[in-house]
Chains A and B, each alone.
Chain A
Amino acid sequence: MPTVLAMADYDLPTRSASGFILRYIAPRMEPVALFSFLDRRLPFQLFAPQADVIIGMGHGEPDIFGGQNDSVILEVGKYDPKEVNGKVIKLLACQCGVELCPDMVGNGAFCALGYKDDYIWVMDADLASIPWSDEMANACLGPVIDGINVLLDGEESQKALDTELLGYSINAEVEEDELIRSCIEFNRKNAVLFGNGDARIRARPKISLPLPPPPLILPLIA
C-alpha cells in the first residue's frame, strides 16, 4: 500500500515545513508525493483510497485541510469516506484537530493526529531555499518529524504522539529564546490524537542520506 504525502509549497510556512518533510520523511516513502502544484484535490482523490497512511502538511481551518494555494483537499462533509477509511492520518495544519480529525475518525479512519489551534513557529526567512537547516524552525518542526518517523517505523500512533510531545518538552527546556519556547509549548498543548492509539502501519525502510538535498528554487508568493 502506498503512502500519500500531501505537501503545499507556496509561502514561507509551507516552504519551511515541506522542506523538513522533504529532507527527513519523503525518502522513506513510496513515490506518491503530492508536492507543490500536485497538492490538489483531484490527485488526492485518485491516490488516497489505496493508501494505508496519509501525511498532510498545508494550511488549515477547523473543518478544512488545504493544499497548494489554499485549494481544498479535505473538508468536513465534502469528501468520500473511502479516502480516509482504514487509514492512519497525520495532518500538520492549523486547527484540523477541532472538527476534521474527529470527522475522519467518524468516517472510518483508524486514527487522526492534528492540532486544536494554530500551528506556529519561528523560522529564518533567509533560509527558505534550504529550510531543513533552519535551527529556529527545527525547535518546533523537529518533534513533528520525529513523530512521523515513529509512525513510519511501524509503531503505534499513540507512541508517535508521545514522541512528538517529548520532543517539544526537551526542546522547550533547552530553548533560550522566550518567544520560540512559547511557540513550542503552544504546539505541544494543541497536539491531539483521535481514534485508536494502537493503530499502526506497515513499517517503511529506514534510509539515511549521506548528503543534504539541493536548495529549493521554486518561487514563493510574497
Chain B
Amino acid sequence: MPNEEFERLKEALKKAPTPEARKEAAEAMRRYNLSRRGKGSRPTLVSLGMGKTYPNAIPLEKIPDEIEKNPEFYELMKRIVE
C-alpha cells in the first residue's frame, strides 16, 4: 500500500523551487520521515556527485533542512521522486 505521506511529498516537489514550495516540501519530507518504517540504524542519502552545492551524504532526518535551504537539492529530490 502506498505511503500517503510519500505521495504528499511527491505532490509538494512538483512545484517550482520557490522558498514557499521548498518549505512545503520540507514539511512533507518531515512527515514522511515520521511515517517511515525504521530500516537501518543511521539511514543516509548519498551521491557520487562532485562540485555540488549539497553534501554528498545527508542523514534522512536532515533532508528536510536541505530541501528548504537549497534549490539545487530540491531539484534533485524532485527528479528522484517523480
Contacts and interface: CB of A to CB of B under 8 A. Distances in A.
A126 B37 CA distance: 18
Interface in B19-68: 32, 36-37, 39-52, 56-57, 59-60
Contact of A120 (B6, B47, B59): B47
Size class of B's contact patch? 20 to 34
Contact of A124 (B36, B42, B47, B48): B42
Interface in A26-79: 57-61, 64, 66, 70
Contact of B49 (A12, A118, A123, A179): A118
B5 to A, nearest CB: 9
Interface in A5-33: 11-14, 16-17
A59 B48 contact: yes
Given A179-B36, A182-B80, A16 B46 contact: yes
Contact of A179 (B6, B50, B51): B6
Contacts of A118: 47-49, 52, 76
B9 to A, nearest CB: 8
B75 to A, nearest CB: 11
Contacts of B32: 178-179
A13 B45 CA distance: 9
Nearest to B81: A182
B60 to A, nearest CB: 7
A94 B3 contact: no
Interface of A: 11-14, 16-17, 57-61, 64, 66, 70, 92-95, 117-127, 134-136, 176-180, 182-183, 186
Given A12-B56, A178-B2, 9 more contacts: A11-B57, A17-B48, A59-B49, A61-B50, A123-B43, A123-B44, A125-B57, A136-B43, A186-B79
15 contacts: A12-B44, A12-B56, A59-B50, A92-B48, A93-B48, A94-B48, A94-B49, A120-B45, A120-B47, A120-B80, A121-B45, A123-B46, A126-B42, A176-B37, A179-B81
